[in-house]
Amino acid sequence: MKITHKGDYALKAVLDLAVHYDEGVVTIQAIAKRIDAPSKFLEQVLLELKRGGFIESRRGKIGGYMLSKPPQDITLGEIIRFVDGPLEPIACVNKGYADCHDLHTCVFRPVWQKVFQATSAIVDHVTFETLAREVKASENIPTYSI
Amino acid sequence: MKITHKGDYALKAVLDLAVHYDEGVVTIQAIAKRIDAPSKFLEQVLLELKRGGFIESRRGKIGGYMLSKPPQDITLGEIIRFVDGPLEPIACVNKGYADCHDLHTCVFRPVWQKVFQATSAIVDHVTFETLAREVKASENIPTYSI
DNA sequence: TCTAAAGTATATAAAATCAATAGACATAAT
DNA sequence: ATTATGTCTATTGATTTTATATACTTTAGA
Q: Which residues contact A61 (CB under 8 A, 6 or more apart)?
A: none
Q: Enumerate residues near strand D (beta carbon within 7 A).
A: A 25-29, 43-44, 46-47, 50-51, 57-65; B 4-7, 37-38, 40-41, 43-44, 58-63, 84-85
* Cα(B100)–Cα(A137) distance, integer angstroms: 19
- CB B25, CB B64: distance < 8 Å: yes
As a whole number, the mean pLDDT across chain A is 91
The neighbour count for residue A104, using CB atoms within 10 Å, is: 9
Determine the nucleotide nearest to A85 by Cα–C1' distance. C17
* Cα(A37)–Cα(A48) distance, integer angstroms: 16
pLDDT 10s digits, B59-102: 999 999 999 999 999 999 999 999 999 999 998 776 555 556 66
SS3 assignment, position A124: coil
Determine the nucleotide nearest to A37 by Cα–C1' distance. C20
Residue B103 or B48, more confident: B48
| pLDDT band at residue B140 using 50, 70 and 90 as cut-offs | confident
Q: CA nearest A77: which of A133, A118, A16, A26?
A: A118
Write b or e for each residue in A75-96: b if 16 or more Cβ atoms lie within 10 A of its Cβ, otherwise e. bbbbbbbbbbeebbbbbbbeee
According to the model, what pLDDT value does residue B80 have? Answer: 97
For residues A27-36, average pLDDT: 96
| pLDDT band at residue A91 using 50, 70 and 90 as cut-offs | confident
A101 closest CB neighbour out of B35, B105, B123: B35
Backbone angles phi, psi at A67, to 5 degrees: -70, 145
Measured CA distances, A145 to A33, A34, A141, A142, B103 (Å): 21, 19, 11, 9, 13
The neighbour count for residue B51, using CB atoms within 10 Å, is: 10
pLDDT 10s digits, A106-127: 899 999 999 999 999 999 999 9
Domains of chain A: 5-86+127-139 (1.10.10.10)
CA nearest A126 in B: which residue?
Answer: B111
For C5, nearest residue by CA–C1' is: B61
According to the model, what pLDDT value does residue A139 have? Answer: 78
